[in-house]
Amino acid sequence: MANSRFEYVKDFEQPDGLLPNTWIVVRIDGRGFHKLSNHYQFIKPNDRRALDLMNAAAVEVMKELPDLCIAYGVSDEFSFVFHPSCQLFERRNAKIVTTIVSTFTAYYIHKWAEFFPSTPLKPPYLPSFDGRAVIYPSSAILRDYMSWRQVDCHINNLYNTTFWTMVQQGGMSNTDAEQELKGTVSSDKNEILFKRFGINYNNEEEIYKKGSVLYRQFELQEPKVAQSEEEGSAVPQAETSRSQQDKLKRLRRKAQVVVDHIDIIKDDFWLRRPWILSGKPGKLPGVPA
Residues in 94-123 that interact with a copy of itself by CB under 8 A: 94-95, 97-99, 101-103, 105-110, 121, 123
Sign (positive/negative) of CA torsion 77, 80, 81, 86?
Answer: negative
> Least distance from C-beta 14 to a copy of itself, angstroms?
7
- Residues in region 129-148 near a copy of itself by CB under 8 A: 129-141, 143-145, 147-148
Q: Is 262 in the site for a copy of itself (CB under 8 A)?
A: no
Binding residues for Mg(2+), by number, are 29-30, 76
Per CB under 8 A, 264 contacts a copy of itself: no
Beta strands in 53-139 (DSSP E): 68-74, 77-82, 129-136
> Rule CB under 8 A: is residue 242 a binding residue for a copy of itself?
no
Compute the CA torsion angle 269, 273, 276, 279 (nearest 10 deg): 150
Q: Which residues are annotated as a binding site?
A: 29-34, 75-76
What is the pattern of x (binds a copy of itself, CB under 8 A) and - over residues 196-235? Answer: ------------------------------x-xx-xxxx-
Q: For residue 166, which of 153, 184, 180 has the smallest C-alpha distance?
A: 180
Residue type, 173: S
Q: Is 8 in the site for a copy of itself (CB under 8 A)?
A: yes
Q: Which of 126, 220, 258, 262 binds a copy of itself (CB under 8 A)?
A: 126
186 binds a copy of itself (CB under 8 A): yes
- In 3D space, the residue among 98, 104, 95 whose CA is nearest the CA of residue 76 turns out to be 104
112-137 b/e with 16+ CB inside 10 Å = b?
A: beebbeeeeeeeeeebbbebebebbe
Instruction: Please say which residue, 249 or 283, places its beta carbon nearer to a copy of itself.
Output: 249
According to DSSP, the residues that pair with 136 across neighbouring strands are 23
Residue 203: exposed, middle, or buried by beta-carbon count in 10 A (0-12, 13-18, 19+)?
exposed
Task: Please answer whether residues 136 and 149 qualify as being in contact, where contact means their C-beta atoms are separated by less than 8 angstroms.
Answer: no
Is position 182 an interface residue for a copy of itself (rule: CB under 8 A)? no
The span of 3-11, 37-45, 211-219, 278-286 binding a copy of itself (CB under 8 A) equals 3-11
Based on the shown chain and the rule CB under 8 A, indicate whether residue 252 belongs to the binding site for a copy of itself: no
Say if residues 80 and 68 touch (Cβ distance below 8 Å). Answer: yes
Task: Please state whether the peptide bond connecting residue 281 to the residue before it is cis, i.e. omega within 30 degrees of 0.
Answer: no
Q: How far is the CB of 80 from a copy of itself (least distance, A)?
A: 13
Of 109 and 199, nearer to a copy of itself (C-beta) is 109
Choice between 109 and 284, CB closer to a copy of itself: 109
Q: Is residue 183 a contact point for a copy of itself (CB under 8 A)?
A: no
Shortest distance, position 288 Cβ to a copy of itself, whole Å: 29
* Distance between CA atoms of residues 223 and 272, nearest Å: 5
- 23-42: which residues touch a copy of itself (CB under 8 A)? 28, 31
Helical (H) or strand (E) element with 151: helix 139-168
Q: Which is nearer to a copy of itself, 106 or 284 (CB)?
A: 106
- Least CB distance from residue 226 to a copy of itself, whole Å? 7
163 binds a copy of itself (CB under 8 A): no
